[in-house]
Structure 1
Amino acid sequence: MTKTIVVKIGTSSLTQPETGQLALSTIATLTETLCHLRQQGNRVILVSSGAVGVGCARLGLTERPKAIALKQAVAAVGQGRLMRIYDDLFTTLQQPIAQVLLTRSDLVQRSRYLNVYNTFKELLGLGVIPVVNENDTVAVEELKFGDNDTLSALVASLVEADWLFLLTDVDRLYSADPRSVPDAKPIALVSNIKELAQLQIQTGGQGSQWGTGGMVTKISAARIAIAAGVRTVITQGRFPRNLEKILQGEPLGTHFEPQPEPTSARKRWIAYGLVPTGKLYLDQGAIAAISQAGKSLLAAGIKTLEGEFDTQDAVQLCDTNGNEIARGLVNYSSDELQKICGRHSREIPEILGYVGADTVVHRDNLVLT
């Protein structure tokens, strides 16, 4: 049966750790594997890091730049070279590819989000393999995905993929870092969100010298993908042929089981596409009402708030310790909410001088995270 497969490869798998130069044999094997999956009738998307790493190697830089302007310049140098290598390899196998560069703002605006969806749909319909990366050259810090793990999960969610493969420098997830803890236990299957939350606490650490990811970003990405009903696998990037083995049922990598009832596309856009601009801190009654009873959020349940936001902006809904419970679109600006938080809905017209919405966040615009 035809599947939609998103494959993300990180800088640590694309480059040689000692030099930062491209690992051409890995890229060639990946290309062959993806072409083979396409020939079997699958729709395939590749999310590829490496532009900054390739740019560094091209310019003779010995470490990844920290300053954003320099990093953007280096990415501009590297992206063209990276695409040329992919194009040469895929063309040899007569597989057309397309470059798709995205920024977070492409997913924030609903119309642009749908436009990106339509572009992917057309490309996949034409039998093209889109090669996706963050548009590092123009992305501003507050509107960056931060890493391609998040980007790949959002793409997988957007196109409603069947599989998301996160190719990394370890063969699977472990209970601790196997490089420093010899008896770390391998984890073959994560079957629910609660397990994910625990894993997120246990996995610290940054990515490699040349990359931005790490296990924490991969688990966050898996959380986004499984909420969209996408089966997610973390596996070793040095052996791209393992993708086909996994699809045939071999027990390789760490699998994250998708949620049986995926969240709607619009709610996924609210939860993960938008960048929240404020926080609302809720009392226990409000938390129970939204998380257990599926109710809307009322002003009476809000203790305090922070940030500046307008009507219909996305905000995080948190407990009093700052732990995020949900996200949603607000019916009031931060200025209005400062006046009415903790007050009963019937008092709102008198306080504000006009009749506003009964709810601060309506349940149709609220998603538990």
Structure 2
Amino acid sequence: MSYQRVVVKLGTSVLTSGSNKLDKAHMVELARQMSALVRSGVEVVLCTSGAIAAGREHLQYPELPDDMPNKQLLAAVGQSQLILAWSEVFSIYGLHVGQLLLTGADLHDLERYMNAGDTINVLLENNIIPIINENDAVATSEIKVGDNDNLSARAALLCEADLLVLLTDQKGLFDADPRSNPNAKLITTVATIDDNLRQLAGGAVSGLGTGGMATKLEAADIAKRAGVEVVIASGHHPEVLTKIAKKEAIGTHFSAIKNPLSYRKQWILVGPATEGRFKLDDGACHAVVETGSSLLPKGIVSVEGEFERGAIVLLTDQSGNEIAKGLSRYCSRALKLIAGKHSNQIEELIGYDYGASIVHRNDMVLLDCEQFKGSKHAS
């Protein structure tokens, strides 16, 4: 089966070809390949970096302090230049583009999250290329997604894509750092992202971008949980998008899980920031991970944070290892009174009862946890 909807993420290092300005010729080449996919019936969403680099180039490389206001200045100037460049190169192939500038706040609220998905879908229905970037000109540290690798994974979830392509200045993920080890070998396929694989990931080396291989692994983990295949490959490999779309062995391929998360659980995984943390006893950890049970108050050892009912919380074991993420049915004030108690004591202790479950299994996403392997991680 061929791919029907593809999200393509282009890093700054790909768009500049390692220089200090946009490589317009290479942008034309990438647009040509994406346009060919569209003509073949594949819907394409583009997640592009490069606004700050474009702003710096347009202002002729001013000497500015390396602080947030000046980065936002460059992003504000560069975003218009970047979308203009993409509009021009896609027009060569008879395609229009539409811009979506997002922040973490757009993903934290379920209604805004769904609206963003609707916008992407209606653009695709009208044969318009959605071009997504983070709104760096207004985003603060509290509402930033942080890097376009993770933003592209969220875009893949928003539009229910079946493939996410992360193009970078590396050929893919290697078993050692290829910059320092000439014997490093390309990892061609990945079924499971574990701690050993994460240790292989390095940081950004171009000095122009915010993402390295570590953020690409984070993005791949998010996407594959939602049933999206992922490929990390070199943005300068000849016909890279054409070959990936034909399922040729290019770069590193991450297979999607067979039982992907529901749309609601996808939002829990990638949407709001966590506001609290529950430490669980061993029995509760095993019940949550091994049998897919809801979390009951009896299994909670401690509650951290101040939050209201409906907040996203992390569930950890007693060593602090994260095992799940979910919606709390009780506020922190109530939980500090009922933690460790039986469910039939809830109303007696706090004066009301929203049910026996503190985090219901339908509102919970399991995370990778090495000591609880054998679990139903795809739930």
The residue that corresponds to 2:325 in the other structure is 327
Alignment-derived partner of residue 11 in structure 2: 10
* Structure-1 separation of matches of 2:172 and 2:215: 14
Q: For residues 150 and 62 of structure 1, what CA distance do their matches in structure 2 show?
A: 29
Task: Provide the residue aligned with 1:74 in structure 2.
Answer: 74
User: Post-superposition shift, 1:282?
Assistant: 1.2
Quote the Cα distance in structure 1 between the aligned partners of 2:306 and 2:74: 34
Question: Residue in 1 aligned with 2:107?
Answer: 107
| Distance apart, 1:272 and its partner CA | 1.1
Distance 2:267 2:177 in 1: 33
Match in the other structure for 2:117: 117
Does the CA contact (< 8 Å) of 1:190 and 1:196 recur in 2? no
Matches within 5 A, 1:153-168: 153-168=153-168
Which residue type is aligned with residue 349 of structure 1? E
Find the aligned partners of 1:245 and 1:65 in 2 and give their Cα distance. Answer: 42
Contact 2:3 2:162 in 1 (8 A): no
CA distance in 2, matches of 1:289, 1:267: 19
- Give the TM-score of the pair, scaled to structure 1: 0.95
2:133 equivalent in structure 1: 133
How far apart are the structure 2 equivalents of 1:208 and 1:112? 34
Count of equivalent residues: 366
Other structure's SS at 1:331 match: coil
The structure-2 alpha-carbon separation of the partners of 1:299 and 1:291, relative to structure 1 and needing over 3 Å to count, comes to same
Superposition CA RMSD, Å: 1.7
Q: Secondary structure at the match of 1:234?
A: strand
Q: Are the equivalent residues in 1 in contact too, given 2:107–2:270 (CA < 8 A)? A: no
**C-alpha displacement of 1:60:** 3.9
Distance 1:257 1:224 in 2: 12
Structure 2 CA distance for partners of 1:141 and 1:337, relative to 1, 3 Å: same
What is the CA distance between 1:21 and its match in structure 2?
A: 0.9
Give the % identical residues.
43
Aligned mates of 2:202, 2:42 — CA distance in 1: 35
Equivalent residue for 2:178? 178
The letter of the residue matching 1:92 is I
Contact map agreement 1:63 1:210 (CA 8 A) in 2: no
SS at match of 2:95: coil
2:215 equivalent in structure 1: 217
Among 280, 286, 293, the alignment partner of 1:295 is 293
Q: Residue type matched to 1:258 in 2?
A: A
Q: Which amino acid aligns with 2:70?
A: L
Gap runs ≥5 in structure 2:
368-379
Q: Post-superposition shift, 1:207?
A: 4.8
Paired letter, 1:139:
A
Q: Is the 8 A contact 2:47 2:132 kept in 1?
A: yes
Residues 208, 214 of structure 1: 8 Å contact kept: no
Report SS of the residue matched to 1:229: coil
Relative to structure 2, which stretch is displaced further, 236-245 or 257-266? Answer: 236-245
1:302-324 per-position Cα deviation (integer Å, ceiling 9, x unaligned): 11222221100111111222221
Find the aligned partners of 1:247 and 1:115 in 2 and give their Cα distance. Answer: 28
Please give the per-residue CA displacement for 1:145-179, whole angstroms capped at 9, x wherever unaligned.
Answer: 11000010011112111111000010111012100
Describe the superposition over 1:203-241 as per-residue Cα deviations: whole angstroms up to 9, x where unpaired: 242453000000110000000111111110000012362
